[in-house]
Chains A and B, each alone.
Chain A
Amino acid sequence: MHGSAPAAFLAAWARLGGSWEQHANPTSARLGLLRYLRDLQIREVLAWPADELPLPGLDDALRDTGFSLVPADKQDWKTRSSIGLTGADAGLAATGSLVFAPAPGRSWLPALLPILHIVILPSDRLYPDLAAWREAWRHSGREQDAAGALIVTGPSISADIEFHRHRGTFGPRFLHLILIESGGERDAGIEREMI
């Protein structure tokens, strides 16, 4: 967790207007996500591939419950889906920011285009601030290979008309965080019955 308490991140996240749920383990997080999607009555979600999402067993759980993940292809009209689902490379506790480094399969589009962005963040990816993350990134060696990075702090906002803050312009109007503490695993099939 790099010395940064989830509480600090969640406080900053709340100041930005994001909603969240905190789960003690991946199983609980999967259930939470499935319930959240069910309540939205949405069956298709623009998303990273399931194996890129930091929630093991999600692919099976989604399939079992009738949800499907739509890949983010910039040539495809489906990039305009109303819900995006991604992980994040890091969360910055001081500002409630999310960091996305591009990698094959990890398009920025699900975090940029839909009106609602759901992000899954394991708590061991939290850093105190931008400098701490950059230091860790440099040491990991990933910085040398990365094609870039996107740091998002809050929803997409404009104030171009008489300084009135308008949420959800090019990008998300709503943000929902699923924060997962590290924990054990269990069979994904059980979730179908639980939701």
Chain B
Amino acid sequence: MLADRYTRTALERLHRLGAKESARAWAGVDDADAERRAAGQVRQQVLDDLPAFLDRLETKAKANGLHVHRAADFQVANRIIVEILQAAGQKRVLRNHSSLHDEIALDRALAANDITLTRIHAGEHLVDLVGGQAGHPVWPAAHLRAEDISAAMQSKWRIPATLDPDNLAATTYNRTRPSLFQSRAAILGLHFAVAASGALVCLDNDGHNACLVALADHIICILGIEQVAADAAGLDILVPAFARSGWGQPLPGYITTVVRPDPAAGPRRIDLILLDNGRSRVLAAGMAEALRCIGCGACHTICPVYAQLGGQGYGGFIQTGPIGAILNPLLARPGLAVEQPFLSTGCDACRPVCPVDIDLPGLLHQGRLRLAPTAASTRERLAFWLWQRLLSHPALFKRFMRLARRLFLGSHAS
């Protein structure tokens, strides 16, 4: 379903400005292609031997004093989180900006257990305020216009209307910032973890992750199992790659790394949840390349289909954009999301912008081939068969076009 024209205007801004900033950041790199290939290799090296790297990470994290849990799916992850919070007597908890929370439907799970969850990140908070779902992994509120945000603030917070972005941003932070001091527990979706050291890493530009780590007594960290870096050297390749592609900067504003509990200046307890939730199935299907994705959203930003659909056009799936169109059919129940690999114009714009060198057009093509028999209805398949026959017989095609012209254009046809 196409996004409405207002949303498309907002997405056009993302397409224009986001892609430009990212291109500018990569232009500052001597050999950008080599850098992307190196980042892709760093990711692939881990994915090729993921169980061993996960074991190494778990061992190291436990040695660092963390409590490590493995969650096969989102239900198990939620159960673990709820049990941890209930055991700690926490009724209020903060969450950072991460699509992992949406992937496991954390908000609903905590609400069902009378635990209040506050989204501390402004973009996510605004999506929550206006309604709907985050449409972009890095810019969750990119599809919202100042008018939408102002109207929501007027009706829910009773504040005067304004379209000044600075004013709206300041209002949002004035609302969310006090929450930092009202809870001693936080749930962090991680960008990466380092197998060699057990370090857990979050990236952002506003510093909300560092604030959560510095202020919370207890943090629960969620890591998608594919987001492991072998060592610090690998991390130092991935982090700038993410920053350039996601934010158009050489480095993120804040790189927050947590290794162990720190009663003096940080959290006293750290839980780490290693979330599978279908990722092993993707690996088993021979689609490891798709799991290289580091969630920078560059393929969303550049994609002309995404610019027309927005995140909401991907059927409520959390993963959106070209990478979502590849992963969703693999992660969803059989028969669901089968049309998503067809959400492509074949323009290949996503291929050169991927910071970890994923052949997105190739994987989309593979997905189409794999799903074609189930994606199309009998009627659609018949129509395509007829169309194919017409195209391969020029004389028949000309006669068909003449007939079609007469039928649809009537007497105006020449």
Interface residues of A (CB under 8 A from B): 74, 77, 79-80, 94-95, 97, 102-109, 112-113, 130-131, 134, 138, 143, 146-164, 166, 169-171
B122 closest partner in A (C-beta): A160
B166 touches A166 (CB 8 A): yes
Q: Give Cα distance in the complex from A33 to B214, angstroms.
A: 26
B169 closest partner in A (C-beta): A166
Contact of A157 among B168, B206, B233, B255 (CB under 8 A): B206
A residues in contact with B139, CB < 8 Å: 159-160, 163
Identify which of A95, A138, A155, A162 gathers the most chain B CB atoms within 10 Å of its CB. Answer: A162
Interface residues of B (CB under 8 A from A): 10, 13-14, 17-18, 122-123, 126, 139-142, 144-146, 149, 165-166, 168-170, 172-173, 177, 180-181, 197, 199, 205-208, 210-211, 213-215, 232-233, 236, 240, 249-262, 264-266
Number of A-B contacts (CB under 8 A): 152
A110 closest partner in B (C-beta): B214
Contact of A107 among B170, B180, B265 (CB under 8 A): B265
Q: Give Cα distance in the complex from A182 to B257, angstroms.
A: 30
Contact of A148 among B146, B166, B172, B258 (CB under 8 A): B258
Identify which of B205, B236, B257, B259 gathers the most chain A CB atoms within 10 Å of its CB. Answer: B205
A108 touches B210 (CB 8 A): yes
Chain A nearest Cβ from B205, distance in angstroms? 5
B residues in contact with A131, CB < 8 Å: 233, 236
B14 touches A163 (CB 8 A): yes
Contact of B145 among A105, A112, A162 (CB under 8 A): A162
A residues in contact with B146, CB < 8 Å: 161-162
A153 touches B251 (CB 8 A): yes
- A contacts with B: majority SS: loop
Q: Give Cα distance in the complex from A159 to B126, angstroms.
A: 12
Q: Give Cα distance in the complex from A110 to B322, angstroms.
A: 41
B266 touches A148 (CB 8 A): yes
Contact of B168 among A113, A148, A161 (CB under 8 A): A161
A residues in contact with B170, CB < 8 Å: 166
Contact of B261 among A138, A147, A159 (CB under 8 A): A147
Given contacts A104-B264, A158-B173, 14 further A-B contacts (CB under 8 A): A74-B214, A102-B265, A107-B265, A131-B233, A143-B197, A147-B262, A151-B255, A153-B250, A157-B206, A160-B141, A162-B13, A162-B165, A170-B211, A171-B206
B256 closest partner in A (C-beta): A150
